[in-house]
Amino acid sequence: MADQALAALQDRIRAAAAAMQPLVICGGGTKTFYGEACVGERVETTTVAGIVAYAPNELVITARGGTLLAEIELAMAEHQQYLAFEPPRFAAGGTLGGAIATGLSGPRRPYAGAARDFVLGLRIVDGTGEALTFGGRVMKNVAGFDVSRLQTGALGTLGVITEVSLKCLPQSKAEATVVQACAVDESIRRVNVWGGKPLPLSATCYWNGRLWVRLSGAESAVSAAMQSIGGDRIEHAQEFWESVRDHAHPFFVAAQREDKALWRLSVKSTAPHADLEGEQLIEWGGALRWLVTAKDADRAPIRVWAKSSGGHATLFRGGNRSGVFTPLDATIATLHKRLKATFDPHGIVNRGRLYADF
Amino acid sequence: MSTIVERSGRPEPEAVDDIVRMLTRDYGERAVVNRAIREQHAHGEGMADSGLPDVVVLPHSNVEVAAIVRQCHVARIPVIAFGVGTSLEGHVAAVYGGVCVDLTQMNRLLEVNAEDLDCRVQAGVTREQLNADLKGTGLFFPIDPGANATIGGMTSTRASGTNAVRYGTMRENVLGLTVVTADGSIVRTGGRARKSSAGYDLTRLFIGSEGTLGIITEIQLRLYGIPEAISAAVCQFPDLKSAVDTVIIAMQVGIPVARIELLDDVQMDACIRYSKLDKYEAKPTLFFEFHGTDAAVREQAESMQSIAAEHGGSAFEWATKPEERSRLWKARHNAYYAALALSPGRQAFATDACVPISRLTECVLATRADVEASGLTAPIVGHVGDGNFHLVVLFNPNDPLEREKAESLAQKVSMRAIAMGGTCTGEHGIGMHKLDALVAEHGNAVELMKTLKRALDPRNILNPGKTVPLANS
């Protein structure tokens, strides 16, 4: 029973809070490589699972945090709906709570929205064991502070996500992927020009001299867009985009070698190609640059480039798991610590997973 | 009835005198104590509760806002951010007096990055000014609450408008902020990048915090290319259910309609009279707008028309020329004034709620019955694709009984929406009028929001008494 499981989770956190025992929150354990290394007793969240409500005509699904993403995607697919932020599935067993806690989004993100844009509301158990509800199950809610969005991407440091309501979208009627050969600077120019036009773009990927572009929408819009941007249509496009989304693409597989590190550079989409050491793959209309470096490559030039390009750099996978996120300036860091103390006054849930000192 | 709430003994009068003296010294004519000006800054639109600030100050820069807030922090004086005063739930009333920071002189468009589809504005820029300034760039900013509000106010209240189904709300369209925090620090959140910051999403936390966690002074906004083709249409229905069902089907099949607005028969009657929409009848009506390429717009409109026809909708009445379209949408945006004209001499306030779309028909009909039982006039308009609707309640401000009925009607709408699994507000916010409804909706989470407020504003100086009022305010 999910409610008993929830009560047990609350008890566990209450006891840990009383004992000042740090806890490491673990869903499917498919994204443990992400974030800072953190220590504590492991708490499984997969017991708090199950779809609570799914009304396809409302375009809303509500499920417990420990529900498998695969289960949710399957239920939605039966009604020709899907999670349009395309949460990455780095391995089987990923949970909804984990997807929202990491806040990661896939190839469709610049065109459909990010994980946080689809979160309508959620429930958490905070660091004192209290169960709390924020937001709701309707499309718009401006009642009180937007804590649902604050929780998205907080890596479980502000409580354990036990239930999430998400906006669903109907699948596109038509989808097509074209590929063009071009130089990297030209690819960045093209995707930005297209981004300002009423084209049904739904993903872009540049790697190894080729630019893949996915179009999704009404049949006529997709075929008109194919004409207008040009390139060769490819078969099995779904496999290609899933490999990019789930890091099963050869670029990402190579990045997972023991002696390598994978960087995620989130920048303004028009930033010129980064002259940094290592291979790159570019997504999100130019706004996301993946970079594979040697495991212990100098971090400074990478961070400097990302900052000067209007964004920030994260050591996504591999390398030394300390200082993986862009350091916060002093005032922002103070706000973070105050928020952490608000949700987790004893500092026990996923302490240090985001930044070492809170 | 406009009750001016005077300061209730807090803060100390000497402290207020000191701050007024300091601000007058530092800002000269930009620090105003004239009563008429202060009264203009004592309230927004809607139910006419108000609270008189002790002084209105008009800063020109982030640094000036920070200096003002720092002085208030030291002296523990309330500080209330003010745009053009179009909020609807008493958000800007200075219920404990203090300093009103009027941001309308911070009205510069700081930068437009056409290639990146973004811009940065000061908080006092209004949405109409922004779109006028963007002329010639081929870009526009889509969010359009009824009033010509400031971008700062729209961000602080997490505003949305008629095209949220297609373009989202302020929440999805703000990339980053400059905020002055309670102790007078200037912080920048987010930035130019899409996934814009490391750490917690502070941008989203400040959006919609109603001036209680910080004063927003600059906003980085996402912009959109002006669509190649736009067309608008009107369709009338025999009853409300048919209109709502049409929308439910359209959303489910994923027609990317830019705008779908519902006007009930009472509102349609008001609009016909006020905006001279002679060719229409006083029936439940949907206003549509389609954006895209020529082909896409034609295709969307055809699909929509066939769904509407299956539900008994009339043939679409088209408005494709820009002037016809703007006349139509002007009529929609003037719904509030049209409602007022139904009953000259009465005042109006708008309340809003949002329910699961499958409950919308039932919710609107039950609300209609409440209105009839109350004997008041209250037309209904809705951003129907979101399940969000507004009730414009007309009441005589000099009749306490009528005012009470109006308030009780608004209360019923909130509580019904919550009982139906919705929210007491999808657009307008909490301010000071929906505090009870917030508790009914969020329960113990409100306590956590209070803790959060204390953490970010330990002296409770930022717009005290709003959103999540603290006991000591």
Could you tell me the CATH number of the domain that includes residue A203? 3.30.70
**Using one digit for the tens of pLDDT, what is the confidence trace for A198-230?**
899 999 999 999 999 999 998 888 999 999 999
Last-in-domain residue among A245, A267, A290:
A245
Does the pLDDT at position B2 exceed 70?
no
Residue with tokens 């490491």: A24
Q: By CB neighbour count within 10 A (0-12 exposed, 13-18 middle, 19+ buried), where does B168 fall?
A: middle
pLDDT score of A344: 98
Residues 195-234 of A with CB under 8 A from B: 195-198, 200, 217-218, 220-221, 224
Per-residue model confidence (pLDDT) at position B4: 42
Same-domain status, A88 and A155: yes
In this structure, what are the phi and psi dihedrals at residue B283, rounded to the nearest 5 degrees? Answer: -130, 160
Amino acid, single-letter form, for residue B62:
N
Q: Are residues A104 and A230 in the same domain?
A: no
- How sure is the predictor about B195, in pLDDT bands with cuts at 50, 70 and 90? low
Asked, for residue A324, whether it belongs to a domain, the answer is no
* Residue from B112, B117, B414, B448 to probe the interface with A (highest A Cβ count within 10 Å): B448
Domains B109-225 and B344-430 share a fold: no
Residues A89 and A15 placed together within one structural domain of the fold: yes
- What is the predicted pLDDT for the residue at B294? 85
Omega prior to B11 cis, within 30 of 0: yes
Burial class (CB in 10 A: 0-12, 13-18, 19+), A93: middle
Do A10 and A141 belong together in one domain?
yes
Residue B3 has pLDDT above 80, yes or no: no
H or E element: which one contains A9? helix A2-19
pLDDT digits (tens, 9 = 90+) for B389-411: 999 999 998 899 999 999 999 99
- Is A299 inside any structural domain? yes
B36 burial type by CB count under 10 A (0-12 exposed, 13-18 middle, 19+ buried)? exposed
A26 shares its domain with A157:
yes
Full residue range of the structural domain in which residue A289 is found: 250-318
Is A141–B354 a contact, with Cβ atoms under 8 angstroms apart? Answer: yes
Integer Cα distance of A110 and A131 in angstroms: 33
Between chains, do B192 and A310 touch, taking CB under 8 Å as contact? yes
| Residues A38 and A87 grouped into a single domain | yes
With respect to residue A281, please indicate whether it lies within any of the assigned structural domains: yes
Give yes or no for residue B48 having a pLDDT over 90.
no
Instruction: Looking at the structure, tell me whether residues A63 and A155 fall in a common domain.
Output: yes
- CA dihedral sign of residues A184, A190, A193, A195: negative
Mean pLDDT of B211-237: 95
Helix (H) or strand (E) holding B167: helix B164-167
B320 pLDDT tier (thresholds 50, 70, 90): confident
Give me the CATH number covering residue A35.
Answer: 3.30.465.10
B386/A140 touch (CB, cutoff 8 Å), yes or no:
yes
Residue A18 contacts B, CB cutoff 8 Å? no
Specify the pLDDT at position B472.
55
Contacts of A16 (CB under 8 A, 6+ apart): A22, A23, A41, A348
ipTM for the predicted complex comes to 0.96
Instruction: Map out the domains of chain B as residue ranges.
Output: 4-104, 109-225, 229-336, 344-430
Q: What is the pLDDT confidence band of residue B473, given thresholds at 50, 70 and 90?
A: very low
Q: Of the candidates A178, A138, A4, A102, which has an alpha carbon nearest to the alpha carbon of residue A350?
A: A102
Do the domain assignments include residue A204? yes
From chain A, the residues in CB contact with B158 under 8 A are: 142, 146
Q: Identify whether the C-beta of residue B282 lies closer than 8 Å to the C-beta of residue B263.
A: no
Q: What is the DSSP string of A251-271?
A: HHHHHTSTTEEEEEEE--TTP
Grade residue B194 by pLDDT with cuts at 50, 70 and 90. Answer: low
CATH of range B344-430; options 3.10.20.90, 3.20.20.140, 3.30.70.2740, 3.40.50.720: 3.30.70.2740
Percent of chain B with pLDDT over 70: 96
Domains in chain A, number:
3
Q: Are A164 and A119 in contact (CB under 8 A)?
A: yes
What pLDDT score was predicted for residue A196?
A: 84
- Backbone conformation region of residue B3, classed left if phi is above 0, alpha if psi is from -120 to 50, else beta: beta
Q: Assess whether A98 and A164 both reside in one domain.
A: yes
The reply to whether residue A338 touches residue B194, judged by beta carbons under 8 angstroms, is: no
Does the structure show a pLDDT above 70 at B6? Answer: no
CATH architecture, domain B229-336: 2-Layer Sandwich (3.30)
Across chain A, mean pLDDT equals: 96
How far, rounded to the nearest angstrom, does the alpha carbon of residue B28 sit from its chain's CA centroid? 32
Give the pair of three-digit tokens for residue B86.
């179009």
Token duo for residue B23 = 């601000």
State whether B425 and A311 contact (CB < 8 Å): no
pLDDT, averaged across chain B: 92
Quickly name the fold that domain B109-225 has.
3.30.465
What is the reported pLDDT for B276?
92
Q: What pLDDT is stored for residue A109 in this prediction?
A: 96
Q: Does A154 touch chain B (CB under 8 A)?
A: yes
Task: Give the model's pLDDT for residue B293.
Answer: 83
Residue B319: the pLDDT is 87
Digits of tens for pLDDT over chain A (358 positions)?
568 999 999 999 999 999 999 999 999 999 999 999 999 999 999 999 999 999 999 999 999 999 999 999 999 999 999 999 999 999 999 999 999 999 999 999 999 999 999 999 999 999 999 999 999 999 999 999 999 999 999 999 999 999 999 999 999 999 999 999 999 999 999 999 999 888 999 999 999 999 999 999 988 889 999 999 999 999 999 999 999 999 999 999 999 999 999 999 999 999 999 999 999 999 999 999 999 999 999 999 999 999 999 999 999 999 999 999 999 999 999 999 999 999 999 999 999 999 999 9
Asked if residue A137 and residue A189 are part of one domain, the reply reads no
Q: What is the pLDDT of residues B265-277, one digit of tens each?
A: 999 999 999 999 9
Q: Which residues of A317-337 are buried (b: 16+ CB within 10 A; e: fewer)?
A: bbbeeeebbbebeeebebbbe
* Contact predicate A216/A202, CB 8 Å: yes
Residue type, A303: R
User: What is the nearest CA distance from B102 to chain A, expressed in angstroms?
Assistant: 23
Say yes or no: A135 and A201 in one domain.
Answer: no
Residue B206: pLDDT above 90?
A: yes
Of A189, A215, A245, the one marking the end of a domain is: A245
Fold of the domain built from segment(s) B4-104? 3.30.43
Q: Are residues A192 and A136 in the same domain?
A: no
Clarify whether residues A19 and A154 are in a common domain. yes
